[in-house]
Amino acid sequence: MMFPTRIATLTSAFALVAGAAFADYQLTILHTNDFHARFEPISKYDSGCSGEDNDTGKCFGGSARLMSAIVAARARSSNSLMVDGGDQFQGTLFYTYYKGKLAAEMMNKMGYDAMTVGNHEFDDGPEVLRGFMDALNFPILMSNADVSREPLLAGVLKKSTVIEKNGEKIGLIGLTPQDTDELASPGKNVMFTDPIGAVQHEVDILTAAGVNKIIVLSHSGFVVDKRVAEGTTGVDVIVGGHSNTFLSNTSEQAEGPYPTMVGDTAIVSAYAYGKYLGELNVTFDDAGKIITAVGEPLVMDGSVAEDAGVKARIAEAAKPLDEVRNKIVAQSAALIDGDKNVCRVQECSMGNLVADAMLERVKSQGISVSIANSGGLRTSIDMGPVTMGEVLTVLPFQNTLSTFHVTGETIVAALENGVSQVEEVKGRFPQVAGLKFSWDQSVAPNAGRVRDVMVMKDGAWAPIDMAASYGVVSNNYVRGGGDGYKMFITATNAYDYGPDLADVVAEYLAQSDGYKPYTDGRIVKK
């Protein structure tokens, strides 16, 4: 054992030799993103996981594991920061029942220092977001929006903040999708702006105040994060969210290294649903420049012990939900694939299920075409018994069935919108029934990617008539212009108050004596 006097002697000697190097500042950034109310453990398909499977180590995540992992990570570091990249809201019955109250309780218990607003934090409007903010013990941030005309947020929702860690000031900036008005329900009083300009403006303010270590909490997706890193100066770290990007140095499934360096900026992201805890260890020099940035997302698998107190609290919170979600509504003969990386770029079996179920429900009303946004499909359902809880996890938004009439020309325009952002794996990709089409990614977005649109007529496929009127079924979110489907806002004979989409799908599944998931080539990429 080395005695204190010996340590002091060596430290003094090192300081004389190393000079300014002794001023290096070390910070461990712990981070999550896109948690989506996954307070309980999840399966490998990101949906619910049984207690039996959890007990045998087959499940991932859950607040209890995350709590244990955060405590352990803090113990490894003398100086840590805990942040979130947005979208705590929406995804399970926990959010439907508690809104943001349980999320705030858990985040406070875990000791978060800050988070950014995700688009789903606006799903129930500014009122629910404000209630969530009031319950938090830490700031929630959003730089790229003007909230001055929204009374619930004006003067309360900050663009950036400064916190002190181990004697040093850390600047934190929030960022949310510029198209949040299309993705959620922020209301007409919130105006979203360009992320690059918004971030640079806050960086300049922080820098002028003497802050030289700046972290952006970005719920804008990996593509935008890289653009922000390229288009700004002074940003040291971007903690990402929104695109559920998995960055890693050890996994073949990773979309890039952890961190991904763009210039002098380190970008990190930890997938979604509490399956990973990001851990980035950064060393800054005295001027605030990154010397080293190393780390790896830590998988929250069965090897991570669950915190007993948190586990008990989540079990208590689950009691009002159990009767609904544990009801078995159907059987599935195979996995119903709802993986976002599949459904947001191509036909998928979950998309076919939902589109088919919608069309079946209303085809007797003269409706012949079904269009579902893939962003509304949140997970897969594995083979075997299908519970109502699983259906609600796939379709958590309480969207209602919407029917309307538009021309063939408008349908083609809608499909063009749907395939316009596949490069960014956006949720507007269309899953369809009653029609089929091909598309060519080599063509520029909204410039004629969609080809060979066919509709079912008299039991056979026929080319769509651009001038004819077609009855269409979707959900009220899409009909109202969500995910870029603004061409549906002016549709005729619109009725947006049909049954809950989750109920429609559950009843459709129940009609089958063992549902058989499938794809049939209704969407073809050229």
3-class SS string, 190-222? CEECCHHHHHHHHHHHHHHCCCCCEEEEECCCH
What is the structure's pLDDT at 16?
A: 30
* Nearest CA-CA partner of 439 in 458, 463, 412: 412
Q: Which residues of the chain have pLDDT under 70?
A: 1-22
pLDDT of residue 183: 85
Question: Within the chain, how many helices (H) and strands (E) appear?
Answer: 17, 26
DSSP 306: P
Q: Distance between CA 370 and CA 436 in Å, rounded? A: 11
Delineate the domains of the chain, giving CATH numbers in brackets.
32-318 (3.60.21.10), 328-525 (3.90.780.10)
Residues linked to residue 165 through DSSP beta bridges, in sequence order? 168
The confidence score (pLDDT) of residue 152 equals 98
Q: How far is CA 442 from CA 109, 131, 389, 427, in A?
A: 49, 46, 40, 20
pLDDT reported for residue 22: 53
- pLDDT tens per residue, range 160-218: 999 999 999 999 999 999 999 988 899 999 999 999 999 999 999 999 999 999 999 99
**pLDDT tens figures, 357-414:** 999 999 999 999 999 999 999 999 999 999 999 999 999 888 889 999 999 999 999 9
Q: How many CA atoms lie within 13 A of 462 on its CB side?
A: 10
pTM over 0.85: no
pLDDT at 499: 85
Distance in angstroms (rounded) separating the CA atoms of residues 306 and 501: 34
> What's the pLDDT score for residue 104?
98
Q: Which amino acid is at 223?
A: V
CA 501, 502, 503: angle at the middle one, nearest 5?
Answer: 90
